[in-house]
């Protein structure tokens, strides 16, 4: 009787349904092997057999393999907080960045080790003007992030196709981002996006670190990465020596691998309220917060750390044409001038607001009509055969909900007890955020 032929599966990591984990390591003599964890015990082996399948290490291009840092073991650490603080101290040594920037860089490092369990792959955009030294920070991130590889801007698309199964953290510099380049970066961080490689389709997500001389002009075009700014300094900060770099990698990569193995079964949404952020920042806060599962106080620091970026997103939303259209509709909801509102009247009001804010753009009723349609607000024929809105109770509520989502300016000017019942029922995120910030600062002061 002939036995079944065992299926060979080449992989760089695997999370099984029972939450057992395989992860790639370098075993003695530099060969590739696996660390294997079932949640109770951990062992190292060159292969793993399970349910008729034999898992063996992924074949990696020799040139990539020489540049790839992999832990050779796991190592215990005192606590997540202590590991976090130690890594923050290391990053502080190679950058003059503020403490809040250093902490966000540290959260990002942790997130790369859990990238395959997050809704989207971590994406970091570091703004580094020409007079800023980036070499030491780039070196430190390659020592600490999971499977970090430095690639050139031009070779990024082709390189990714070679290393897609590895799911590395790609570190690159972008000097003049084109629309095509930003589309690629956005695609690389999206979960479930398939890429054709070698005659087969594979999921293409990877964590990404970009060093760029300027901020993104349109964050949405790149998928709203975590954007941090470095500032010039007169102090000379050298790159680490090869021996010191190896020492840091050898000490911290095993600890971060242990953190990965312990945390993977418990990755979940953060304990803090994500609804206080805009939708793009909710995704970012989720990614960074989900990697800290046993220290709610450390996790909650993100609320304050991400507040400036969230405010910038809100300002961007509030200045969009769509937000101004909603501002006009919201004002009409608060007047007693009738139930019907012609599109031509909406257009006149929008143009008035634009002129008051120094914008000479003159919109047509057709352009405003398309904006209304994009918002899901349908027009009808009203009095005298004109196209317009019927401000029913449902439409009024929809306008209020959309105004909140777009951070319409006039919502920020509401009194503590607005007369409009729909406004009163809105959970204004900036008020929640201010309350959360005060609570966190109060707790910190009591320690």
Same-domain check for residues 41 and 163: no
Backbone angles phi, psi at 35, to 5 degrees: -95, 135
Query: Residue 442: what pLDDT?
Result: 45
Angle at 193 between CA 190 and CA 196, to 5 degrees: 135
Q: Which of 205, 238, 267 is the last residue of a domain?
A: 267
Query: Residue 324: what pLDDT?
Result: 87
Query: Residue 420: what pLDDT?
Result: 86
Q: Which of 267, 297, 327 is the last residue of a domain?
A: 267
Query: Residue 278: what pLDDT?
Result: 83
The rounded distance, in Å, linking the Cα atoms of 312 and 278 is 10
Same-domain check for residues 238 and 331: no
Q: Which of 236, 267, 298 is the last residue of a domain?
A: 267
Low-confidence ranges of the chain (pLDDT < 50): 1, 432-447
Alpha carbon separation from 320 to 179, 312, 359, 369 (Å, rounded): 20, 13, 12, 15
Q: Which domain, by its residues, includes 242?
A: 80-267
All residues at 6 or more sequence positions from 12 whose CB lies less than 8 Å from its CB, including other chains: 24, 57, 58, 147, 165, 166, 167
Same-domain check for residues 54 and 87: no
- Structural domains in the chain (count): 3
Please report whether residue 69 resides in a domain: no
Same-domain check for residues 163 and 93: yes
Please report whether residue 277 resides in a domain: no
Please report whether residue 37 resides in a domain: yes
> Residue 89 maps to which CATH number?
3.40.50.300
Same-domain check for residues 22 and 91: no
> pTM higher than 0.85, yes or no?
no
All residues at 6 or more sequence positions from 240 whose CB lies less than 8 Å from its CB, including other chains: 94, 136, 139, 140, 143, 248
> Residue 382 maps to which CATH number?
1.10.10.10
Same-domain check for residues 210 and 122: yes
Query: Residue 163: what pLDDT?
Result: 63
Please report whether residue 17 resides in a domain: yes
Please report whether residue 2 resides in a domain: no
Same-domain check for residues 85 and 20: no
Q: How many CB atoms lie within 10 A of CB 244?
A: 11
Same-domain check for residues 250 and 331: no
Structure tokens at 25: 């390591």
Please report whether residue 66 resides in a domain: no
Same-domain check for residues 91 and 215: yes
Residue 206, judged by CB atoms within 10 A of its CB (0-12, 13-18, 19+), counts as buried
Same-domain check for residues 245 and 207: yes
Same-domain check for residues 118 and 49: no
Backbone angles phi, psi at 10, to 5 degrees: -90, 130
Mean pLDDT across the chain: 85
Same-domain check for residues 137 and 92: yes
């Amino acid at each position: 009787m002939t036995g079944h032929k065992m299926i060979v599966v080449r992989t760089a990591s695997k999370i099984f349904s029972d939450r057992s984990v395989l992860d790639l390591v370098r075993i003695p003599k530099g060969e590739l092997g696996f660390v294997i964890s079932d949640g109770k015990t951990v062992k190292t082996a060159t292969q793993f057999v399970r349910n008729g399948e034999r898992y063996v290490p992924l074949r990696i291009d020799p040139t990539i393999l020489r540049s790839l840092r992999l832990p050779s073991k796991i190592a215990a650490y005192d606590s997540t907080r202590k590991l976090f603080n130690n890594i923050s101290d290391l990053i502080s040594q190679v950058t003059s960045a503020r403490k809040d920037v250093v902490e966000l860089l540290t959260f990002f490092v942790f997130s790369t080790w859990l990238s395959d369990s997050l809704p989207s792959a971590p994406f970091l955009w570091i703004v580094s003007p020409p007079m800023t030294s980036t070499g030491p920070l780039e070196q430190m991130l390659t020592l600490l992030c999971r499977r970090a590889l430095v690639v050139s801007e031009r070779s990024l698309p082709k390189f990714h196709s070679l290393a897609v199964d590895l799911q590395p953290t790609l570190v690159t510099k972008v000097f003049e981002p084109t629309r095509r380049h930003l589309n690629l970066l956005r695609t690389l961080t999206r979960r479930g996006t398939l890429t054709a490689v070698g005659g087969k389709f594979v999921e293409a997500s990877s964590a990404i670190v970009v060093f760029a001389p300027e901020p993104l002009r349109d964050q949405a075009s790149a998928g709203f990465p975590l954007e941090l700014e470095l500032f010039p300094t007169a102090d000379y900060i050298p790159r680490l020596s090869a021996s010191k770099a190896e020492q840091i990698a050898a000490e911290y990569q095993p600890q971060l691998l242990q953190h990965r193995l312990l945390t993977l079964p418990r990755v979940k949404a953060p304990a803090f309220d994500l609804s206080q952020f805009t939708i793009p920042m909710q995704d970012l806060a989720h990614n960074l917060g989900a990697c800290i599962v046993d220290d709610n106080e450390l996790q909650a620091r993100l609320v304050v750390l991400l507040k400036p970026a969230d405010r910038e997103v809100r300002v961007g939303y509030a200045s969009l044409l769509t937000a101004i259209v909603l501002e006009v509709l919201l004002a009409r909801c608060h007047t007693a001038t009738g139930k019907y509102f012609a599109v031509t009247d909406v257009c006149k009001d929008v143009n008035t607001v634009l002129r008051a804010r120094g914008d000479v753009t003159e919109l047509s009723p057709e352009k405003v009509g398309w904006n209304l349609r994009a918002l899901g607000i349908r027009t009808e024929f009203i009095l005298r055969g004109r196209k317009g809105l019927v401000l029913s109770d449902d439409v009024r509520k929809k306008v209020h909900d959309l105004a909140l989502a777009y951070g319409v300016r006039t919502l920020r000017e509401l009194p503590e007890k607005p007369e409009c019942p729909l406004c009163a029922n809105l959970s204004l995120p900036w008020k929640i955020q201010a309350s959360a910030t005060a609570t966190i600062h109060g707790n910190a002061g009591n320690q």
